[in-house]
Amino acid sequence: MIICDGMLQLKMEGCLYRQLMEEGEQ
């Protein structure tokens, strides 16, 4: 399950954006 950033108000885009950010750092 992907934890959405509370600061991102866009649920779908926020989750996807966070996932891409986390995957990009690894």
Total tally of structural domains belonging to the chain: 1
Q: What is the pLDDT of residue 22?
A: 78
Q: What is the pLDDT of residues 1-26, one digit of tens each?
A: 556 665 555 566 666 777 777 787 76
Q: What is the pLDDT of residue 24?
A: 74
CB burial readout 1-26, b (16+ within 10 A) else e:
eeebeeeeeeeeebbeeeeeeeeeee
* Residue 10 lies in domain: 1-26
